[in-house]
Homo-oligomer: A and B are copies of this chain.
Amino acid sequence: MASTLNRLLETFARIGATPDGGVCRLTGTPEDGGARVRLAAEILSRQFGLHVDPIGNMFGIATLAPSSQEAVLVGSHLDSQPTGGRYDGVYGVLAGLLAIEAVVARAAAEPGKARRNLVVANWTNEEGARFQPSLTGSSVFAGMMALDAALGLIDGAGVALGEALAAIGYRGTADLPLEPRRYVELHVEQGPLLEEEGIEIGVVTGCWAARKLSLVFHGEPSHTGPTRMARRRDALRAAARAIELHHQLIEASGSGAHASAARITVDPNSPNVTPSRVQVWFEFRHEEAAVAVALGDAFLAEAQAAVAPLGVDIEIAVDEQRGTASLDPHGAALTTAVARELDLSSMEMKTIAGHDALALNKRMPASLIFVPSQGGLSHNPAEFTDEAALDKGLAVLTEVLWQLVTEE
């Protein structure tokens, strides 16, 4: 099974491959379409049913219990960051596919045991790289985001997500025709903890909180040559000051928070016009929601005071507060027990990164399982997890799914 998983990962890594060994498969692009077509072929070749829902989530359905409407879902996402690695997301989808294949074989050998069906899912736009916010497909599926709002999300070039999905032939029309009961996701950690602790399986019990503040800095256009310096209202200078202040505030807080300002748009972005409108996407992440919120509040107050002398105003375009959440305790206990059975070391941990499991957890009990990432590196072409570690994750996932479809 190991070699099959690695062969599949290799195949998918060629779709949207970048010269530096990574992948770039932004949602709704031809590369995303190529990966979807390939996944559809893998689903159909295993005699699973193929279904695409209205936000483009793809499902491969294995009917283990024809009389039941219930399904256990497993999956992750095929889209990537522009500087994506070969494992983030695609590992969970392909391991889910192979785990289901193994469970189907076992169910055939032990007839009457399976009480519910299995579905592998590829969730649309997990990354939020081309369209913000992230976790789009899983949030719509969980009923946390309206379908129309999701289809209407606009990329930097003015293209709507709905158009982009239609263009690659992956905008479906009907919801999944089963009752989802549980969700399990296998993912590379994207952080350094498992590697540092020498642990093989991460049992994720919950997530850090995040506050995402997208701020617009409003200045005034003027000629960068003759306009007197005191007369300028430079929105980029204001944004630069706020970005540095943001990092200094996080460091000074000693809170252990993670923070970033990673996306910026500048108008008119001409070398000879003082920038009049700049938007920056700031993030604050902390284990405690109250700390993430307080850091954001402190930053907003300090940033406004810091840029006012430049004649620049700040508008809050987005203030998204994601609280902490606890994932399914039953799934976590089961994962720990399965790891023990398979002689694998495991530890409970929190995820700092967002994952589809967190969105789906709003609708059904959801579980998240990590395997180590070399150097904790992710969203980087050099992202790497070795074959043995990947296989251990698949073995745990397979057994967890078997338990979840056969238990009472």
- CB within 8 Å for A212 and B271 given contacts A220-B380, A266-B264: yes
Report the bound CA distance from A189 to B210 in whole Å: 50
Residues facing B in A105-134 (CB within 8 A) are: 127-129, 132, 134
Is A45 part of the contact surface with B, judged by Cβ < 8 Å?
A: no
Is A190 part of the contact surface with B, judged by Cβ < 8 Å?
A: yes
* List of B residues within 8 angstroms of A240 by Cβ: 239-241, 243-244, 261
Residues of A at the B interface (CB closer than 8 Å) are: 81-83, 127-129, 132, 134, 189-192, 208, 210, 212, 220-229, 231, 234, 236-237, 239-241, 243-244, 247, 250-251, 258-264, 266-276, 281, 283, 285, 351-354, 376-381
Q: Is A226 in contact with B129, judged by CB distance below 8 angstroms?
A: no
* List of B residues within 8 angstroms of A227 by Cβ: 190-191, 258, 376-378
> 11 A-B pairs, CB-CB below 8 angstroms?
A134-B272, A191-B228, A208-B225, A220-B380, A222-B377, A222-B379, A225-B352, A226-B378, A229-B251, A241-B244, A272-B354
Residue from A260, A273, A285 with most neighbouring chain B CB atoms (10 Å): A260
Q: Is B237 in contact with A244, judged by CB distance below 8 angstroms?
A: yes
User: Nearest B residue to A133 by beta-carbon distance?
Assistant: B271
Q: Is B81 in contact with A128, judged by CB distance below 8 angstroms?
A: no
* List of B residues within 8 angstroms of A212 by Cβ: 271
Q: Is A226 in contact with B271, judged by CB distance below 8 angstroms?
A: no
Q: Tell me what chain A mostly uses at the interface: helix, strand, loop, or mixed.
A: loop
In the complex, the count of this chain's copies comes to 2
Report the bound CA distance from A272 to B134 in whole Å: 9
- Minimum CB–CB distance from A156 to chain B (whole Å) comes to 8
* List of B residues within 8 angstroms of A208 by Cβ: 225
* List of B residues within 8 angstroms of A237 by Cβ: 243-244, 247, 261
Q: Is A271 in contact with B229, judged by CB distance below 8 angstroms?
A: no
Set B224, B250, B251, B283: member contacting A262, Cβ < 8 A: B224
Set B191, B221, B261, B264: member contacting A264, Cβ < 8 A: B264
- Minimum CB–CB distance from A354 to chain B (whole Å) comes to 7
Q: Is A225 in contact with B129, judged by CB distance below 8 angstroms?
A: no
Q: Is B283 in contact with A264, judged by CB distance below 8 angstroms?
A: no
Report the bound CA distance from A221 to B239 in whole Å: 21
Report the bound CA distance from A236 to B240 in whole Å: 9
Q: Is A225 in contact with B263, judged by CB distance below 8 angstroms?
A: no
Set B251, B267, B272: member contacting A127, Cβ < 8 A: B272
Set B229, B244, B275, B351: member contacting A259, Cβ < 8 A: B229
Set B223, B243, B264: member contacting A378, Cβ < 8 A: B223
Report the bound CA distance from A189 to B285 in whole Å: 50
- Minimum CB–CB distance from A198 to chain B (whole Å) comes to 18
Set B247, B258, B276: member contacting A224, Cβ < 8 A: B258
* List of B residues within 8 angstroms of A376 by Cβ: 226-228, 231
Q: Is A191 in contact with B226, judged by CB distance below 8 angstroms?
A: yes
Report the bound CA distance from A240 to B237 in whole Å: 8
* List of B residues within 8 angstroms of A223 by Cβ: 190-191, 353, 378-380
* List of B residues within 8 angstroms of A234 by Cβ: 247, 260, 262
* List of B residues within 8 angstroms of A379 by Cβ: 221-224, 270, 272-274
Q: Is B380 in contact with A81, judged by CB distance below 8 angstroms?
A: no
User: Nearest B residue to A265 by beta-carbon distance?
Assistant: B269
User: Nearest B residue to A380 by beta-carbon distance?
Assistant: B221
* List of B residues within 8 angstroms of A261 by Cβ: 236-237, 240
- Minimum CB–CB distance from A288 to chain B (whole Å) comes to 16
Q: Is B222 in contact with A378, judged by CB distance below 8 angstroms?
A: yes
Q: Is B273 in contact with A82, judged by CB distance below 8 angstroms?
A: yes
